[in-house]
């Protein structure tokens, strides 16, 4: 069926009743996630697996003191577990995307765009055509020379407009941003830099590592 006819058909025919919804997709992903975590040998509990500790709708429900103590005493391990699970899921997603592309190309090659549970909707986008410069120059030298001359003139005019802007009186009074690197290249004393700068901004990041793993200076 031509693509145009397929689009008309999709407008008139709803998707099958058993078409997977968001809940079904989430369930499938959870199964894949659990499978991959098992393959990676990640066994540390995440927060949702600690008794009495839940997120979401039940977050406001009080838990036992024992459960709270368990959570509080294992927070770094919980963070490490979540980091490992995120890394494992991201690796799994990369494999799934690669596999999806393989299946998609196979379906397109076979012309299998629909089955009893799903349909592949082909969406086309007409991108601007690209000029083959070598063929253009060889086949149409006259038009090629004219196009080159016109393009060169347009670029020179753009440069001239910028040069006029940078040499105008308004530009002379414009306040321009200055970097610390520029000040240092001008041999500006450090005390002067301290006087004219905002307080030093410190950004803090936290990395969770397994106990016993050596931390090198390069990784700090």
Predicted confidence (pLDDT) per residue in 176-218, tens digit: 999 999 999 999 999 999 999 998 899 999 888 888 766 665 5
Question: How far apart (Å, rounded) are the C-alpha atoms in residues 25 and 180?
Answer: 51
Q: What's the token pair of residue 44?
A: 């540390």
Query: Is 50 strand, coil or helix?
Result: coil
Cα 37 to chain centroid distance, Å, stands at 23
Question: How far apart (Å, rounded) are the C-alpha atoms in residues 166 and 174?
Answer: 10
Q: What's the token pair of residue 219?
A: 């990784």
| Domain boundaries along the sequence of the chain | 3-110, 133-196
Query: Is 130 strand, coil or helix?
Result: coil
What is the tens place of the pLDDT at every residue in 19-56?
444 444 455 555 655 665 566 555 444 444 444 444 44
């Amino acid at each position: 069926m031509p693509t145009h006819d397929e689009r008309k058909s999709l407008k008139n025919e709803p998707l099958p009743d058993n078409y997977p919804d968001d809940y079904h997709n989430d369930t499938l992903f959870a199964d894949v996630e659990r499978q991959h975590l098992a393959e990676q040998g990640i066994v540390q509990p995440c927060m949702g697996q600690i008794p009495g500790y839940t997120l979401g709708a039940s977050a406001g429900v009080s838990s036992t003191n024992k459960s709270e103590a368990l959570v509080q005493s294992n927070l770094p391990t919980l963070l490490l577990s979540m980091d490992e699970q995120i890394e494992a899921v991201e690796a799994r997603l990369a494999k799934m995307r690669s596999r999806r592309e393989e299946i998609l190309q196979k379906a397109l090659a076979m012309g299998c765009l629909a089955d009893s549970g799903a349909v592949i909707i082909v969406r086309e986008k007409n991108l601007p055509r690209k000029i083959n410069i070598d063929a253009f120059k060889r086949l149409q030298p006259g038009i090629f020379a004219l196009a080159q001359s016109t393009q060169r003139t347009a670029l020179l005019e753009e440069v001239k407009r910028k040069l006029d802007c940078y040499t105008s009186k308004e530009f002379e009074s414009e306040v321009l941003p200055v970097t610390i690197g520029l000040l240092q290249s001008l041999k500006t004393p450090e005390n002067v830099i301290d006087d004219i700068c905002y307080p030093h901004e410190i950004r803090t990041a936290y990395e969770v590592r397994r106990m016993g793993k050596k931390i090198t200076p390069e990784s700090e």
